[in-house]
Amino acid sequence: MAKLELVIAGHKRSSDRLATSLYPSISDTEQSFQFESNEQTISVLDHAGVEGFTKRLTDRVAGLSTAILATDDNHGLDQLCLQHAFLLTLCGINELIIVVTGLKDTHKAEEAFSTIKSKSALLGWPKVTAVAIGSRGLEPPAWFDGPELTATLRHIQLADFPIDVPLRMPIRRTESDKSLYSGHILTGLIEMGDTLLFSPSNQTARVVALNAIDENESLNSAEAGREVTITLDSDLEFGNAELASHVDNPPLETDVFRARIAGFSSEVLNVDTGYSFYRFGHVIPVSIQSVERVTDDIGLDNIFDATIRASEIIALDPFEICKPTGSLILNDGENFIGAGQINMRGYADQRDLITVRSTNVVRVEHSVTDKHRAKRNGHRGGVLWLTGLSGAGKSTIAIEVEKRLFAAGYQAYVLDGDNVRHGLNSNLGFSPEDRAENIRRVGEVGALFAGAGFITITAFISPYRSDRERARTALPDGFHEVYVKADLEACEKRDPKGLYKKARAGEIPEFTGISAPYEVPKDPELTIDTSDSSVDECAQKLIEHIEHHFVLHDK
């Protein structure tokens, strides 16, 4: 006899009525039961109500065949039902049965059901079935001509776990045996002898033993939906929320991403407020970098598009690629704030940026020290990192400051975005990954120039905070971020290179400020507002900053 599972969401009173109809002996406090239907056993998890359902979701309501959304003609598809429907999509459940309970043989009840059924089509689910239940048991009202619930349940299919998709398995060390690693396979297939990549630690190891965790049997392979233990040929050390994959198809790694979030309350998500990101049973601190409210078609009025910054690099996938690793649960420490679908539009996979592949490399120390160079030049070397939108005035200010510093006898040089792309970075395009690599290289080159004693002025849009922070790590003590501030409207009016016009015409994809993000510096060492200042005034402001922080006044 086949064993299937489904979960009940929605309103608690309606789910209780439904549960007792399906299984009369169930008590009000029970949350799970089984009943038999057409030569199959159906296991039911009743988690209707906000608190119970969201807590269950954080522990992964994955692998379930079908979801029932229970409501009545008074509540209809209200905010709670819409939130639960959205949350269920994060679980990868594709079949939704909307059960409207307690309906009477009246025209008013028929109209209410018709409204619910028509609204359900807007949910965007692959398969939605609306079923009417009468006020007594499972018997439908006389006016209902659709499928009965029992007949609908007979056609529930086993959860579909495609194996021709990337392997994703959250992994952890077992408590009983530190040489074993256990995990629940979310998607894909794992086989004996596979070489696995563990993210975000970027370690690899080969599977030398594979066992089913519940039956302790040896396996040659295991597919999505199974809980397994694996023995590896290497002893690995990693933190929380580690994700196993195959080497040739790994998840993305990033500390910033976007998400469409359904809020659980009427509160607006707050920028720079600390939240928690639930990730496979672990908690990762995050903050909201930017947020805007979105109006949708189904009446769920608490939808937000947010840019989220994590406190550490995490492994994830866009939701459309892999639902389990592309979903999001937010918490404010005590309460569930919202759930969302992750996307990476405009942001880079940072894996290659943080992976060190060079081995057997030893640094060579210079006999000429930084102090020697500073004493001869009369100033310390450093990097003045000018960032801002295209047209803000970065290159104009940088070139003017370079001219004045040179005239004053200082060692100064400008690294300009366009100039660098003519040579060093001519092989890079403008994808998020190429933008990030462009800035990584410039950060290292800038640090080398600073090490040679130069006051190095860089003029790059450098739209991502994480990339600018990575550039800072190349020269922690001599890196000064300078925000050349001008709003999009002002920059577009200037448009010195005609790029905004081309971007608006669709000729330049991924153009910063139009179709790609720009992240404003949070705590720059200097801000130069070019909106109502002359080039001379802006250049003088940067000169004064350099004289204060880099020039030796006791030479």
Task: Report the catalytic residues.
Answer: 462
CB contact at 8 A, 42 and 6? yes
- Strand 252-263 and strand 336-343: the pairing is antiparallel
- Residue matched to tokens 């310390």: 380
Helix (H) or strand (E) holding 542: helix 535-549
How many residues appear in the chain?
555
Tokens of 225: 């939906």
According to DSSP, residue 16 is labeled H
Category of 78 on φ-ψ map: left (φ > 0), alpha (ψ -120 to 50) or beta? beta
Q: What share of the chain is helix, strand, coil (3-state, %, to 5)?
A: 25, 30, 40
E strands of 73-184, at which residues? 95-103, 127-134, 169-173, 180-184
CB contact at 8 A, 258 and 340? no
CA angle 93, 94, 97 (to 5 degrees): 95
Tokens of 23: 């299984």
Q: Order of strands across the sheet with 32-36? A: 32-36, 40-46, 2-10, 66-72, 95-103, 127-134
Q: Is 261 helix (H, G, I), strand (E, B) or coil?
A: strand
CB atoms within 10 A of CB 181: 24
98, exposed or middle or buried, with CB in 10 Å at 0-12, 13-18, 19+?
A: buried
Q: Provide CB contacts within 8 A for 330, sequence distance 6+.
A: 261, 269, 275, 276, 277, 278, 286, 336, 337, 338, 339, 340
Distance CA 455, CA 405 (A): 9
Tokens of 53: 């359902």
Contacts 24+ apart (CB under 8 A), 266-273: 266/302, 267/337, 268/293, 268/304, 269/304, 269/306, 269/330, 269/337, 269/338, 273/332
